[in-house]
Amino acid sequence: MEPTSTTEPGAAAATPLAGFDALAAFVDAGGSVALILAGLSVLMLATAFVKAGQFLRLGVWRRSRAHDAIALLRWGQPDWAAAVASSGRGAAAGIVANALDALIAGHDRDQACDEAQRQIDETTERLQTNIRILEITASLAPLLGLFGTVWGMIEAFQQLEASGSRAEPSILSGGIDQPPPRGPG
């Protein structure tokens, strides 16, 4: 009894190395610059997911309890304001709750504001970690793309120079889409 194939005749069977073949084709098409840009894209996407998770964990977008507590404080209800702020789960509600607790405990208003500002600064500093990765990647990626284009132009002009007296525009445009070399190996 002969084994039967589940693939259609003429269809290529999927191999475990098919992904590597696609990556090799990508690098051949775009050169080392495309590979670097792909790596930077992965790094940037991973950093963005980490930052989004950090923002969600700190409850950056949950501010309604903090706003409600401040409104209650303005209406002369500091105890209710503290209770509402304490029930909030976001960073803003926690900061407002701590400031209100300090006021209720009898601390000076300036001291409570200073403590709130210190907590705001700490939270902001925590949220700014790894932002530099996004800044550098966003600045570097267009420059690498431009480098690839310039490299292609250099190749095109070298081909034009090598053609001598039989210079044709097709020779000039031929090297523009070529990737920069991958280096030794």
pLDDT digit string, tens, across residues 99-145: 888 888 888 888 888 888 998 899 888 888 888 888 888 898 888 88
Structural domain harbouring 89: 60-127
> Both 122 and 35 in a single domain?
no
Who's near 48: CB < 8 A, 6+ residues apart?
Answer: 134
> Both 138 and 162 in a single domain?
yes
pLDDT tens for each residue of 164-174: 767 666 655 65
Give the 3-state secondary structure of residue 116.
helix
Helix, strand, coil shares of the chain, percent, nearest 5, are 70, 0, 30
DSSP structure class, residue 7 = S
Structural domain count, the chain: 2
Q: How confident is the model at residue 181 (pLDDT cuts 50, 70, 90)?
A: low
77 within a domain of the structure (yes/no): yes
CA triple 176-178-183, angle to 5 deg: 135
**Between 29 and 130, where is the model more confident?**
130
Report pTM.
0.59
